[in-house]
Amino acid sequence: MRRWIAFWSILVKDMRAYYLKPPNISWGIIFPLAWTGMFFIRSGSGMESILTLLPGVMTISILFGTTSMLAVTITFEKRSRSFERLLLAPISLELLMLAKTSGAILFGVANAFVPIIIAAFLTDLSGIAWFLIVPAILLMGIVSTFIGLFIAVSVSEIFEAQTFSNFFRFPMIFLCGLFFPIIALPVFLRPLSYILPLTYGVDILHGAIHNEHIMSFTLDFIILGAFCIGLFALSLRNIKRRWIV
Amino acid sequence: MKSNNQPAVEVLSLTKRYGDVIAVDDISFQVNEGELFGFLGPNGAGKTTTINMLTGLARPDAGTIHIGGIECTQNPKAAQHLVGMVPDESNLYPELTGFENLCFCAALYGMRRSERQTRARQLLDTFSLTDAADRKFAGYSKGMKRKLTFAAGIIHQPPILFLDEPTTGIDVASARQVRQIIAGLHRKGTTIFLTTHYIEEAERLCERIAFIVNGRIVRTDRTADLLKPVQGKDVLILSVSNSGANLPEEMALAFPQYQFQSTTPGQVRVESVEPVNIGPLVRFLEERGVQVTEARRHLPSLEDVFVQVTGIEADLMSKEKVGGGGNQ
């Protein structure tokens, strides 16, 4: 029970203290909205293109929301040494990092629903397979958060975290099938798509929203889950190696 | 803690390297339950590295650590419930108020809401911060930040407390208050491991002291025992004017029973195992046209012992960090 009091307090504190920090607002909210608007205008096909664009827009919102949040909650606290307080608490490092990342996961999930809510006013969403969308958003939130965690643990300044994040985020926009199908990519780039976790999440979203997917949903979920576990384990290892020196 | 017979903290052959630099070099010591143990040394001596290893913020390269009887060299989490720490920097959350910071730190130790709110209010009162309870930590003065950081370290009433230079850089009144609180915690039975570079602070508070220099412990003893050799000497400081360069030598010829030294211009230090008789000295100097403006007995202090043992001038220790209340 005591450890869950600590878990909950860390989660609530991060949500209260960091959700409205400038890096979160600019990278986590404004940037995905601007990006979405750009694609919407560029597509030129009006309301009909909303369902086609929705998986990409949702993914950008999740990816940028979670990674921006982690850059603040982890890197900022490490820089100001307040993270040491958490390391001194009698809770396991695994639980501590789950608490630190849960806020970002929730932020990412909430971000994903913003375009869905907007789309609900503009087009008919009755054909969407929600039983696939909801777990896919959650897993994409988790995997994006753990990408953010991996980055946040590897740097020491917030601006470094944001810059390093972009090194991953921007290629993923083009390589993971968000707005262009992977099949449309040059052959030499396609293998890159399959080593990026979001490819599998985006595939589920495309399948659930307009029934176009390249892999089975089961395989997509399994691979996404494996990425979550792998990235979390890698980040924990880095924290132990780099921060508890 | 496991047993009353076991030391609260036991360290054996602890070593820590950062690349080619040996930050802590094969140190061993123990702190008994309820003891206030001082770890005294200049900056860069290895004090913070030692505390970090003891609390789990750094990994030792060699040696063993027992906290409250629990072997925690490889698994520091095993003993963290017994430990509180006040770091050398105020590292609370700038976005939270003083009250919220304390409640959050209490929650990290699993304290329930009502319990942590009561304790937070009590500590805000103890540290005279009640009026600032609802202000954000970012707006606190340096002294207030230090006090709140101290309060956060003891929010869960740990039986073992690590204090890393708790009075560095704060005003005289706050430093005095912090020292009173340390003494109060000690009276109530808390085991305290205090690192400081303020010699007077260590002398005033600690029962036992270890001197650490360049990562090695050069001496560990009870404070009273450390002072014994210097307490056996009578030391007189004479302030003089119109004196020549050879004054100490001339005086030594006239008074062979005393030792004379002039470390500062215009001052002569007279040392003897027998009581120093001031009258003949003053007359001797006046006959030679030297004016004696002041004669005062030097009270033996830990500073003398520290200089004797480490060869480091005490002034250098205080100058290394921005001066604050701890030294005043």
Task: Name all domains of chain B by residue range, CATH numbers in brackets.
Answer: 9-228 (3.40.50.300), 233-297 (3.30.70.1560)
pLDDT at res. B309:
78
Q: Return the ∠ at Cα B67 (arms to B224 and B309), rounded to 5°.
A: 30
Q: B115 touching A, CB under 8 A?
A: no
pLDDT tens-digit readout, A167-202: 888 888 889 988 888 888 989 999 999 999 999 999
| Partners of B37 in beta bridges | B193, B208
In chain A, which residues have their Cβ closer than 8 Å to the Cβ of B80? 88-90
- The complex's ipTM? 0.84
**d(Cα A62, Cα A68) in Å, to the nearest integer?**
10
Q: Return the ∠ at Cα A45 (arms to A41 and A49), rounded to 5°.
A: 90
State how far residue B150 is from chain A, nearest Cα, in angstroms: 12
pLDDT at res. B326:
42
Q: Check B109 against A90: CB less than 8 A apart.
A: yes
Residue from the list B58, B80, B96 with its beta carbon closest to the beta carbon of A89: B80
Q: Check A5 against B94: CB less than 8 A apart.
A: no
Mean pLDDT (whole number) for B287-309: 82
pLDDT tens-digit readout, B48-75: 999 999 999 999 999 999 999 999 998 8
Cβ contact B195:B45 at 8 Å: no
**d(Cα A91, Cα A82) in Å, to the nearest integer?**
16
Single-letter amino acid, residue B16: K
Question: Six-digit token pair at B159?
Answer: 């039986």
Confidence of residue B322 (pLDDT cuts 50, 70, 90): very low
**d(Cα A146, Cα A237) in Å, to the nearest integer?**
13
Cβ contact B176:B325 at 8 Å: yes
Helix (H, G, I), strand (E, B) or coil at B58: coil
State how far residue B57 is from chain A, nearest Cα, in angstroms: 5
Q: Check A244 against B59: CB less than 8 A apart.
A: yes
Confidence of residue B327 (pLDDT cuts 50, 70, 90): very low
Cβ contact B72:B66 at 8 Å: yes
In chain B, which residues have their Cβ closer than 8 Å to the Cβ of A86? 108
Residue from the list A89, A244, A245 with its beta carbon closest to the beta carbon of B109: A89
State how far residue A78 is from chain B, nearest Cα, in angstroms: 10
State how far residue A92 is from chain B, nearest Cα, in angstroms: 7
**d(Cα B150, Cα B128) in Å, to the nearest integer?**
12
Q: B89 touching A, CB under 8 A?
A: yes
pLDDT at res. A125:
85
In chain A, which residues have their Cβ closer than 8 Å to the Cβ of B91? 80-82, 84-85
Confidence of residue B231 (pLDDT cuts 50, 70, 90): low
Confidence of residue B1 (pLDDT cuts 50, 70, 90): low
pTM above 0.80, yes or no: yes
Comparing A1-15, B81-95, B197-211, B226-240, which segment has the lowest mean pLDDT?
Answer: B226-240
Q: B74 touching A, CB under 8 A?
A: no
Average pLDDT, chain A: 87
Residue from the list B58, B96, B110 with its beta carbon closest to the beta carbon of A5: B110
Nearest CA in chain B to A1: B110
Task: Give the whole-number percent of chain A exceeding pLDDT 70.
Answer: 95
Cβ contact A119:A133 at 8 Å: no
**d(Cα A177, Cα A113) in Å, to the nearest integer?**
20
Own/partner pairs, A170-176, CB within 8 angstroms, 24+ separation: A171/A196, A172/A63, A172/A196, A172/A198, A173/A35, A173/A56, A173/A60, A175/A199, A176/A59, A176/A201, A176/A202
Q: Check A3 against B110: CB less than 8 A apart.
A: yes
**d(Cα B91, Cα A78) in Å, to the nearest integer?**
10
In chain A, which residues have their Cβ closer than 8 Å to the Cβ of B88? none
Q: Check B59 against A245: CB less than 8 A apart.
A: yes
| Partners of B216 in beta bridges | B213
Residue from the list A82, A87, A91 with its beta carbon closest to the beta carbon of B92: A82
Mean pLDDT (whole number) for A61-77: 85
pLDDT at res. A117:
86
A18 pLDDT above the threshold of 60:
yes
Full domain range(s) for residue A230: 2-242
The length of chain B, given as a count of residues: 328
Q: Check A89 against B55: CB less than 8 A apart.
A: no
**d(Cα A149, Cα A74) in Å, to the nearest integer?**
8
pLDDT tens-digit readout, B141-156: 999 999 999 999 999 9
Comparing A73-87, A104-118, B97-111, B229-243, which segment has the lowest mean pLDDT?
Answer: B229-243
Please give the interface size between A and B, counted as residue pairs whose CB atoms are below 8 Å apart: 69
How many domains does chain A divide into?
1
pLDDT at res. A45:
63
DSSP character at residue B136: B
Interface test with A, best of B91, B108, B116, B155 (most A CBs within 10 A): B108
User: What part of B 147-166 touches A (C-beta under 8 Å)?
Assistant: 152
Cβ contact A116:A50 at 8 Å: no
Q: Check B56 against A6: CB less than 8 A apart.
A: no
State the distance between the two ends of chain B, measured CA to CA, in whole angstroms.
36
State how far residue A197 is from chain B, nearest Cα, in angstroms: 33
Which of A63, A41, A43, A34 minimizes the C-alpha distance to A180? A43
Which of B24, B6, B10 minimizes the C-alpha distance to B60? B24
DSSP character at residue B170: -
Burial of B287 (0-12, 13-18, 19+ CB in 10 A): exposed
